[in-house]
Structure 1
């Protein structure tokens, strides 16, 4: 299935995994309640299947191209492909997970990326050195405006991984320590928009991390979320083609984003919030580039 680009440029490319075996069967973050899932498993799985399909179709309708990971039994979180790797300039750096429940995903993702390389969709596939833990693009977000990575650490990824990322990709990687177990990956509390704006939940970060954000992002380009917005995972969004695709948001948040030149598209993903995941978690962008290409998207600067 392929959509047509609406901006006249190259189609954004994502990696996704159908939720055939998705479930909340263990708990590795505060959002996950296996007993609650089990009480209505059939209905909740049906909801997840419908919601994933609607989200997928939204991306296709906006012109995205999708590659797929084959779902596997007993790997319920394989659907969260953002954690598979970090990809920039056709190079993939494979993830290493902290929890044993998710470490079983590593060979599946490695096989997927080997296949993508064989199909010439990627030029290189690399592994993390030693025992470094880094849970992919869920904790390492590309900022296309600043040409740098923002990396979450302290919950699921090691701070030392920021040096590895910088060395592998030849760009700056700014480590941001996460202060809350509920916002365990950076993408649960932070989104870098191509306009230079960032949406983030301040309470998810340590004071040092907040200073790092404030040093690099001017006040007019910071969109701070309140607790209710953060709990909706409004920061866990997918941005392309002048759109921000997310599960849900407040009217106030929508207005702030629309002021910055975006159309906000909501596609409910409540079944995945039960695992502590949402729109960004369900995708991995495969076509980020460290240098702008001619004919790419042009975004107006925020006038606030």
Structure 2
């Protein structure tokens, strides 16, 4: 079998250091306030991810953390950026509401002019995944179905709604990863996270998708970031490495075990600033 030659493209990311990260409440099945967080280790793991992006030639901007917002490290949830247009977030849980304001302020401060404060609940790239032509949009636990037509009108591109049914995969980015956003064909996902109808949609749209096992999904292996060639993903998702290599990708395992205690990994920490 001939392996496809993959090409990386330089990306711009927005991240937020876990300076005030802690787990003192539970808003997803991964969060257990009884399990202590090693803040020094969390920061080291986060810095390793940030530095790896930069070593691969990507640009990383940093959002100033706020003491009263311990989940700000999960920067992907703060907005969705497509062609320089920003659809802000509106969080489902009161504990995270202030993050949306912090993200909007950052965009305004850094010269972005087309910034929309949403009417309906969406949690940014937690539930919106961008392909070449579409937005894949999760719903069922956090983002409202009403956020989907709102995003379609704002971005002017088709939004494909996908129903999440397993509370462990409360955001789309825990259950699906776009591997090559220059096409509408290259994704990996875990079928068990989706309703039967949504699985049928995914099978029709992505007949050649990389299908993750339950074990790799449970390691949050789909909470990954791809630049078109390099795929940064949790190192514990060992079953995904060889299938990715067979498709021409270069998997890079990352250890974000401390941040997993809050229910997030590589993608949750990474918002893409698409020009």
Match 1:245 to one of 209, 225, 232: 232
Q: Deviations over 1:22-67 (max 9, x none)?
A: 1111100010011212xxx4xx111101100111111010011011
After the TM superposition, which residues 89-238 of structure 1 pair with which residues of structure 2 at under 5 Å, given as runs?
A: 89-117=83-111, 122-129=112-119, 132-144=120-132, 147-194=133-180, 196-218=185-207, 221-238=208-225
**Retained in 1: the 8 A contact 2:91–2:123?**
yes
Q: Deviations over 1:251-290 (max 9, x none)?
A: 44211111111100111001111111000000100025xx
**Retained in 2: the 8 A contact 1:149–1:171?**
yes
**TM-score, normalization by structure 1:** 0.84
Which position in structure 1 is the counterpart of 2:244? 257
> How far apart are the structure 2 equivalents of 1:211 and 1:64?
35
> How far apart are the structure 2 equivalents of 1:128 and 1:156?
14
> How far apart are the structure 2 equivalents of 1:197 and 1:250?
19
Give the count of matched residue pairs.
266
**TM-score, normalization by structure 2:** 0.93
**Retained in 2: the 8 A contact 1:62–1:241?**
no
SS of the residue 2:167 aligns to: coil
Structure with greater Cα Rg: 1
Which position in structure 2 is the counterpart of 1:295? none
SS of the residue 2:145 aligns to: coil
Deviation at 1:8, TM superposition (A): 8.9
1:51 aligns with 2:41: no
Runs of 4+ in 1 over 4 A off after TM superposition: none
> How far apart are the structure 1 equivalents of 2:157 and 2:21?
35
Q: Give the direction of change, closer, same or farther, for the CA distance of 1:200–1:8 in structure 2 (3 Å limit).
A: closer
SS of the residue 1:113 aligns to: helix
Which position in structure 2 is the counterpart of 1:297? none
> How far apart are the structure 1 equivalents of 2:137 and 2:237?
26
| Structure 2 unaligned spans of 5+ | 1-6
| Structure 1 unaligned spans of 5+ | 1-6, 289-304
